[in-house]
């Protein structure tokens, strides 16, 4: 199906914006910690864990360590979501498009 010229340009621009957003997301790196810094997690924009640092003192209480790792991962995921939302808003700028469109 062939779209009118103006609509094709809009669709092409939307596709380019989506590609730019994906590139921006791929560059996101966040870090979050829990337990006063006893556990630190680094996460990518795709929410892959890139690294985990654990203070040896935290290993003495396994249940507490598990809770701190979970808290640090959840906080890192929240930071990724915030970064993605900010980058999406910046990319869409004043177009007036809803954030969920892309």
pLDDT per residue as tens digits for the range 9-46: 878 888 888 898 999 999 999 999 999 999 999 999 99
Tell me the mean pLDDT in the region 76-80: 98
Ordered by start, the domain boundaries in the chain are 25-92
pLDDT at res. 7: 81
* 38 three-class SS: coil
Lowest average pLDDT, out of 5-9, 67-71, 83-87, goes to: 5-9
Cβ within 8 Å of residue 75, ≥6 positions away: 32, 33, 34, 41
CA distance from start to end of the chain: 22
Mean pLDDT of 50-76: 96
3-state secondary structure of 44: strand
- Mean pLDDT for 64-91 is 95
The mean pLDDT of 5-10, rounded to a whole number, is 78
pLDDT score recorded for residue 1:
55
25-92 carries CATH number 3.90.1310.10: no
C-alpha 96/C-alpha 84 separation (Å) is 17
Residues 31 and 77: their CA atoms lie apart, in Å, by 9
**In the prediction, which pLDDT does 100 show?**
57
- Which two tokens mark 48? 């892959």
Give the global pTM.
0.79
Could you identify the residue written with the tokens 């990724």? 80
pLDDT (0 to 100) of residue 13:
82
């Amino acid at each position: 199906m062939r779209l009118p010229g103006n609509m094709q340009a809009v669709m092409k621009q939307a596709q380019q914006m989506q590609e730019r957003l994906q590139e921006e997301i791929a560059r996101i790196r966040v870090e979050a910690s829990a337990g006063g810094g006893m556990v630190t997690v680094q996460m990518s924009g795709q929410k892959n864990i890139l690294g985990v640092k654990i203070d040896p003192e935290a290993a003495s209480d396994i249940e507490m360590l598990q809770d701190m790792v979970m808290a640090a991962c959840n906080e890192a995921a929240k930071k990724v979501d915030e970064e993605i939302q900010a980058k999406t808003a910046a990319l869409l700028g004043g177009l007036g498009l809803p954030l969920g469109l892309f």
